[in-house]
Amino acid sequence: MNVLEVEDLRKHFPIRAGLLRREVGRVRAVDGVSFQIAAGETLALVGESGCGKTTVSRCILRAQRATSGAIRFAPEAGRVVDLASLPKRELRPLRRHMQMIFQDPYSSLNPRMMVGDIIAEPLKVNGVPAAERQARVLELLELVQMPPGARTRFPHAFSGGQRQRIGIARALALNPRLVVADEPVSALDVSVQAQIINLLLDLQDRLGLSMLFVAHDLSVVRHVSDRVAVMYVGRIVEVAPTDALYRTPRHPYTETLLAAVPAPDPARRGRRIAVTGEVADPAHPPPGCAFHPRCPHAVERCRTERPELTEAGAGRWVSCHRAAELDLMGVR
């Protein structure tokens, strides 16, 4: 059963100009995104900065209202609601079932509140009695491998990695069905990143979390995700099981992202992909495939006809006119 199904999600921001602030154009931040997350599964959503992945996560949590599309969420077995069209008064009871881990552990915690109060805040908002809140706070601190005494200290007393553990504890306080992790390790040192990733893996196993893991670093998501969706200029260009995507990427953009991952042994570094030019402007995307101005394999069809995301076998989907042809030629 799927916990989340996103279908043809779009989020366009108006561009206004002139004295009367008339709309003169639109930024297509998200332009037709579809994917599913099964119970207990982690889907990584990856891409360069500005591709729209954070906007997708904000629309799912209804921090922003989608322009169009469906966001079907199952807060419990046998019940499905469309978050995209749900009125605000009906949305609030559902928020306990979907929580977010923020990118910046420094600004996501209130510096004037003690850690115990920060973690207990969602419990308090949802009417959990004080005695139960205190017991739950201690349980959550142990879950994220923090000492019990941390609850009486303020956030400034902790390192970045410890603050992110506190943020994770707060996100798990109400036993959510879905967790959205927006770049949860990008603000941390590499050694600390590994600790947080290992913690998330442990929590996945123990709690059976369903998670959308938003990131730009493919070396990170390899260890935490079951499947990967690659996003470019508001659209998903490839979806595949993690091992398959890293072994044989089908879209040229995925190849460029993988080629940019640092290799511990330079002698074993993979083939570099020749990519030129800048990321396309979502306010004025190029015709055809948005990646064609930078793609070394582009042909005339790529410049005039936008490829659709189509099934490529074994749970894979790809949006490329030449995906099969390039595989047969041994380019991949």
pLDDT tens digits, one per residue of 227-253: 999 999 999 999 999 999 999 999 999
φ, ψ at 293 (rounded to 5°): -65, -20
Residue tagged 């201690």 (tokens) = 138
Helix, strand and coil percent figures for the chain, each rounded to 5: 35, 25, 40
**Total structural domains in the chain?**
1
Is residue 284 domain-resident? yes
Query: Over 60: is that where the pLDDT of 267 sits?
Result: no
Does residue 185 sit within a domain? Answer: no
Q: Where are the alpha helices (DSSP H) in the chain?
A: 53-60, 88-91, 115-125, 130-143, 160-172, 190-207, 218-224, 242-247, 252-259, 300-304, 323-328
Gap between the Cα atoms of 71 and 84, Å rounded: 5
Q: Quick one: CA torsion of 215, 217, 219, 223, rounded to 10 degrees? A: -10
Q: Within a domain: residue 281? A: yes
Q: What is the pLDDT of residues 122-177, one digit of tens each?
A: 999 999 999 999 999 999 999 999 999 999 999 999 999 999 999 999 999 999 99
Mean pLDDT, the chain, whole residue set: 90
Query: 316 lies in a domain?
Result: yes
pLDDT in tens, 297-320: 889 999 999 999 999 888 899 999
Does 283 reside within a domain? Answer: yes
**N- to C-terminal Cα distance for the chain?**
34
**Domain span holding position 276:** 250-332
Return the pLDDT at 50: 87
